[in-house]
Amino acid sequence: GDHAPPQEAQHTYIFRDLMHSHRPWLAAPPDGPQEQILYQKGQLIGRGGCGRVYLGMNVRRGTLIAIKQVELGLRRSDMEALDREVQLLRELRHPRVVQYFGTNRSDTVLTVLLEYVPGGSLASLLRKFGAFREPVIRVYLMQILQGIEYLHRCQPPIVHGDIKAANILVAVNGDIKV
């Protein structure tokens, strides 16, 4: 149903869930009120062990984003791991790493705003096209290694810990994101 969102000041983004509500949610992103953002949450585009990913849109600019939502009924150790992941994402800036835009936490859901990579995962491309030819494998592997190298050169070094085809994204121009 339609209900007013909680009035949480600095750590809430504006969302409008296209399927359930016609009211926008208003507040400022964690980086400060000067970067207030209005997003619209669209269709489900993926799900994994950690939650669901929706397509989103910045309604002021028209840019697309990925909205990852994780239910917060997790064990304390899982919550701490999620908090560490978000903290790491805030610091990362590299063309081979998915860009982080912000976070929102309600009582029940952690929402992470990320760069949308429209090509999908390597796993989905393998299902659609079958085995890749060697030149494509070389291009993809070089870019994957560039992303991993960047993570390992961070101080302290970051170990991805879950490199697999389902977690490697491919942009429509062939750019890889880990």
Check residue 71 and give its pLDDT. Answer: 85
Task: Tell me the pLDDT band of 72, cut-offs 50, 70 and 90.
Answer: confident
What element of type H or E holds 38?
Answer: none
**CA of 52: how far to CAs of 44, 64, 116, 154, in Å?**
7, 16, 14, 28
Q: Is the pLDDT of residue 84 over 60?
A: yes
Residue 50 Cα to chain centre, angstroms: 12
Q: Domain-by-domain residue ranges, the chain? A: 33-115, 122-177
Check residue 32 and give its pLDDT. Answer: 43
Rounded to 10 degrees, what is the CA torsion of 50, 55, 59, 64?
A: 100
The verdict on whether 162 is a catalytic residue reads yes
Of the candidates 17, 78, 162, 175, the residue annotated as catalytic is 162
Homologous superfamily in CATH for domain 33-115: Phosphorylase Kinase; domain 1 (3.30.200.20)
Check residue 14 and give its pLDDT. Answer: 38
Check residue 140 and give its pLDDT. Answer: 98
